[in-house]
Amino acid sequence: MTVKTMTAAINEAIDQEMGRDDRVFVAGEDVRVGGPFGTEAGLHAKYGDKRIVNTAISELALTGIGVGAAAVGLRPIIEIMIMDFVSVAMDQIVNQMAKMKYMLGGQARLPIVVTTHAGIDSSSAAQHSGSLEAWFCHVPGLKVVMPSNAYDAKGLLTAAIQDDNPVIYISNKRCMQTSSEVPDESYALPLGVADVKRVGSDVTVVAIGRLVLDALTAAEELAKEGINLEVIDPRTLSPMDTTTIVKSVQKTNRAVVAHEAVRNCGIGAEIAATIADEAFDFLDAPVKRVGAPFTPVPFAPLLEKQYLPGAQDIVAAVRSLYH
């Protein structure tokens, strides 16, 4: 085990999978110089032009390269540097990638991973700060992964690259330089399995991406008041491990769902609905949701700070369950 940043863990997962399987390649904008966040650093020198492919600034074309390559037996990793830019590639992702296997009666496999970076970071403003994971959870045929730490990031990306289905792999920008212990050897974490980051007895907090870290911070603060949070990180948003979430709520009888994306129609609403469907009789209070306001992300640092949901919003939501 070595302490690594999430950036380094992702880089290591890509490197090890490229070394294991020569069908794996990376295509994207500026990937030969390491990519916008350094996740491909050093790979061009090791694997060359044919496996680390710089593309034109066209997310639609870039994603089309991946779909075509996957359909004929390669295993592409397609880097879309900022999540907001996936909107340009939605036809390839939603109408081709997600549906091709179904429409061809299972005759085609689509082992493709689309990696992208979501969330708010350093006044990147409205067109570079989106958290759009709920879009893809709504599309049958796509798996959606969103890790919160370096250990999960490496294991989940390894599993995604090895999967024979399309995977949207989303990294939160504010998680990229956080560190944790990560095995040096290759390992895969199963997709569709949640992780209980903190065992508790009083309130279940289901948190996504960076909000997992904020939920753990909130748990420490609330512990001083005698409120013991259980923090669950779904890790895979589709398919989601609802069994772990429901089992936790049946124990704690209270639930908060937290994510950086806007609150309206976010994945938190689906989680809250699932809790209401499957654990309603166990609830002692309504399910509370924490998310960003329903407005574009502001540029001004002060407004951005006010916009961004965090630990104190989770603390307030938990306290509201007792009043």
Residue 213's closest CA among 301, 303, 119, 297?
119
Give the residue among 290, 277, 291, 279 at the shortest CA–CA distance from 321: 290
Q: Which amino acid is at 73?
A: G
Comparing CA positions, the residue from 60, 105, 84, 107 lying closest to residue 297 is 84
* Among 128, 133, 230, 304, the one annotated catalytic: 128
59 catalytic residue (yes or no):
yes
Structure tokens at 306: 């006010």
CA quadruple 255, 258, 262, 267: dihedral positive or negative?
A: negative
Catalytic residue among 12, 29, 40, 59: 59
What dihedral do alpha carbons 41, 46, 50, 52 form, nearest 10°?
Answer: -10
Per DSSP bridges, beta strands 229-233 and 195-198 are antiparallel
Catalytic residue ranges:
59, 128
